[in-house]
Amino acid sequence: MPQLRRSDGGVVQDRLAAIPWWVAAAVMGLLALSVTLLLRGWTQVSGPGGAARQLVFELLRWGFPALLGLCVLWAKRSAPDALAKPETPQDITAVLKGMPWAQFEKLVGEAFRQRRFAVLANGDAAGAEDVDMVLRKGGETHLVLCKHWRAERVGVQVLRDLQLTMSGRAAVSAYVLTAGHFSDDARAFAKAASINLVDGPRLARWLTTAQRSLKSVSGAAAGGLATGGSAETASPACPKCQATMMKRQARRGVHAGSTFWSCARYPQCHGARPFVAFSGAMSPDP
């Protein structure tokens, strides 16, 4: 079995974003106090270099807390989950029971695009029945399993089967989504298998934020039609993230003045197509 590596710092970012501000402030204060108690005597040692020791002491005393504060601030501002209102597992389960699969799949795809994954059509890959989505980022493959999205509890056997699929498809990590929760055995297994578990509360945040993103994209596309678009030039889908595209005009460069299709999620996505009248069929990739 090939050695599997964990995915990027998305999990760490989510955990930092979930830290309440008062907890972060308390930890920063404890850090400053600890450095003061540990190093104050060192700064009072007589001899040459006293000024340098004092400078190092001040940098450490205030630098560590400031670094922690900056990390928490970055996580809260950049993590999509930080923008959404948390929901309880019961809330998300009730919502998902009445949600059709197509809508759920669309929201999950948008949630991963917000995390800078390219979402591929699963039907194009061998063994498509084993997983529900295939992701790409940095030339690496990641898998998504949503088959138990309405389950109240997901056990370890589901993850064992997924690990075999990861090995067969050379995936570096995988995600399992459920509105319920995972067993203790499943959580322990996931830590050693590069499998990310997304349970009810976290899934609720993902879907809420994805829904807001899709609504904003739809609003931008509707605005584009209201200012000069028509049914004849309805926008195609972005070749990178499959979001709606908008008609734009190049302002500089060799193509200045020419019209092209640009992803409505720009600057998060830089997908583009040559402008052609679009009547519903996918135009070729540039």
181: left (phi over 0), alpha (psi -120 to 50) or beta: beta
Binned average pLDDT, 10 residues per bin, the chain of 286 residues: 46 75 86 83 74 82 84 74 45 72 86 86 53 88 89 92 92 93 94 93 88 72 48 61 72 65 76 58 32
So what's the pLDDT on residue 10? 61
Contacts 24+ apart (CB under 8 A), 1-6: 1/167, 2/167, 2/170, 4/166, 4/167, 4/171, 4/172, 4/173, 4/193, 4/194, 5/172, 5/173, 5/194, 6/172, 6/173, 6/194
Q: Cβ atoms within 10 A of the Cβ of 200, count?
A: 22
Q: For the whole prediction, is pTM greater than 0.85?
A: no
Q: How high is the pLDDT of residue 164?
A: 93
- Lookup: tokens for 221: 């596309």
pLDDT at 252: 64
Signed CA dihedral, 53, 59, 62, 63: sign only = negative
Please give the pLDDT value at position 278. Answer: 39
Residues 112-136: tens digit of each pLDDT: 988 888 887 554 444 456 788 889 8
Q: Phi and psi for 225 in degrees, rounded to 5?
A: -70, -35
